[in-house]
Amino acid sequence: MSTPALKIYNTLTRKKEDFRPIDPANVRMYVCGPTVYDYAHIGNARPLIVFDVLFRLLRHLYGPEHVIYVRNITDVDDKINARAFERGISIRELTEETNKVFQADVCALGCLEPTVQPRATEHIAQMIAIIERLIASGHAYAADGHVLFDVPSMPSYGRLSRRSLDEMLAGARVDVAPYKRGDMDFVLWKPSKENEPGWDSPWGRGRPGWHIECSAMSWAHLGETFDIHGGGIDLVFPHHENEIAQSCCAFGRELMANYWMHNGFLQVEGEKMSKSLGNFVTIHELLHTEKFGGRSWSGEVLRLAMLRTHYRQPIDWTVKALEEAETKLTYWMTVMDFSVAPLGSDGRIADQLLRSDEVPSTYMDALSDDLNTPLAMQILDRAFSEPRTDRVLSIMLGLSGIDLNAFRASRHARDQAFFEKHGDIVDRLISARNAARASKNWAESDRIRDELAAMGIALKDKKDGATSREVKR
Ligand code: AMP
Ligand code: ZN
């Protein structure tokens, strides 16, 4: 079976293009990761899931050992300083705690671990090296302990976001600072007060600006120019524009990455997610609390709900969509024969299976067409209702990172937790109903059945007179 060409929509050219890696034996992708000052919200989950699907697809096409996926951890940022101060804990404590929850969240969402997860604080030397190059080549200047990127020194600035300098100036809320030569110039390095984290540098003790972090980490792990750079659509300007300016000017390259990919935004029940609207929800809350729709959700449900919309479209995150995703997974789980080894969430078993040629071409075509996951999910859905082998289904599920075993385990854990909490009362109601049935009091028997149904318990009367119970929520 021939492998379809992977097509990617490139924000840089605003076109869908054939993907041609610089070196097929070393395919390189960078995705901007979290700033670890607070738990990641469900909007942040979108790039995590989308680029995980791409990572799996690239591993399938080029071989797992030929793909490097770098997703950074921003652990130096003013938001981190402020939050640590507010909570009265050290910066280290805050970033460690937040990162731990982040790692657990992405694991629950079925994402493979990236090849490297570099931390900004471990790449200060590379940041300083890039800034020194920029100063030496006339693209940056030091003033008052700050170093700024000189935007007008780069004629192609604005290429990714397609804005001219004049338009940017007209539209932007620029903070005018006395040490800036031009209004659009942005900070590469800034001085730190004694109580702020800081590193020694040629410009005094200070800390990096946000954009330089990604230029340094992508350079350290992927080189001067690499294949794919990803993130949410909000990062196009200024973050990615500035990353490009820094890296291209420091290394004298025309391109930082050949393909720029951006996921669309997520809103909640038709509204922009925000703390003030009260619809802000974290991945952690969806997984472990009853904040959204009055109940918790498994990571597999969240993942499927995310993949049923194309990554470039806006997505509306609703309770209804999660319920639909769960119904679908429950059906798949019921028909899937688990005698076939399930796909491990670490991707190892998946990779082994993926080397085979069994994946249906329609499925590959859909994923290869700029990650058309909604179409891929429809094909998968159809495959579950057609004659097929479980092995093929396993492979298709694996490519999308959907682990039905994990889903089954989470359902089981949820049911157990429910019965631990409410088991006594459920058993008492079942006994009372059995007594009502024995005395042919059908009205009372039905009433109790309804009461249990309202609690989310479905009863099944068996031929031998026993009654089984099942959590239906
Ligand atoms: P941040 O921590 O805000 O830098 O965001 C981390 C990643 O999540 C970036 O790739 C953002 O573009 C992405 N992101 C943030 N909010 C949303 C949202 N509501 N919908 C989709 N992606 C988002
Ligand atoms: Zn970045």
C-alpha of residue 339 to centroid of ligand 1, in Å: 39
Please indicate whether residue 166 or residue 229 has the higher confidence score (pLDDT): 229
**Residue 134 scores a pLDDT above 90:** yes
In a domain, 289, yes or no: no
**Is position 37 within any domain?**
yes
Q: Tell me if 390 is assigned to some domain.
A: no
| pTM for the whole structure | 0.91
Residue range 424-466, pLDDT digits in tens: 998 899 999 999 999 999 999 999 999 988 888 888 877 777 7
Per-residue pLDDT at 208 exceeds 70? yes
CATH code: domain of residue 116? 3.40.50.620
Span from the CA of 159 to the centroid of ligand 1 (angstroms): 22
Rounded percentage of the chain residues whose pLDDT exceeds 70 = 93
Do residues 249 and 154 make contact, with C-beta atoms less than 8 angstroms apart?
yes
Range of the structural domain that residue 440 is part of: 422-471
Start-to-end Cα distance in the chain: 43
Q: What pLDDT was estimated at residue 1?
A: 42
Asked whether residue 338 is domain-assigned, the answer is no
Query: Which token pair is 174?
Result: 């620029």
| 298 CA → ligand 1 middle, Å | 21
Give per-residue pLDDT as tens, 378-420. 999 999 988 777 788 888 888 899 988 889 888 888 888 888 8
How many structural domains does the chain have?
2
Q: Given pLDDT bands bounded at 50, 70 and 90, which one contains residue 352?
A: low
Is residue 94 predicted with pLDDT exceeding 80? yes
**306 assigned to some structural domain:** no
The two beta strands, 15-18 and 7-10, are antiparallel
Residues enclosing ligand 1, CB less than 6 A?
A: 32, 34-35, 43-44, 46-47, 231-232, 234-235, 263, 265-266, 273
pLDDT at 206: 97
Sign of the Cα pseudo-torsion (184, 189, 194, 198, in order): positive
Examine residue 408 and state whether it is found in any structural domain, yes or no.
no
User: Relative to the alpha carbon of 266, which ligand is closest?
Assistant: 1
Contacts of 215 (CB under 8 A, 6+ apart): 127, 130, 243, 246, 247, 250, 256
Residue type, 437: R
Domain boundary among 237, 263, 289: 263
Task: Among 219, 246, 263, identify where a domain stops.
Answer: 263
**What is the number of the ligand 1 atom nearest to the C-alpha of 239?**
4
Q: Among residues 228, 263, 298, which one ends one of the domains? A: 263
Taking each helix axis as running N to C, give the angle between helix 361-368 and helix 373-385, from 0 to 180 degrees, rounded to the nearest 10.
Answer: 160
In the predicted model, what is the mean pLDDT of residues 182-202?
95
Distance 80 CA to ligand 2 centre (A): 16
* Ligand 1 atom index nearest CA of 47: 10
Are the CB atoms for 312 and 9 separated by under 8 Å?
A: yes
- Is residue 93 in a domain? yes
| 169 in a structural domain | yes
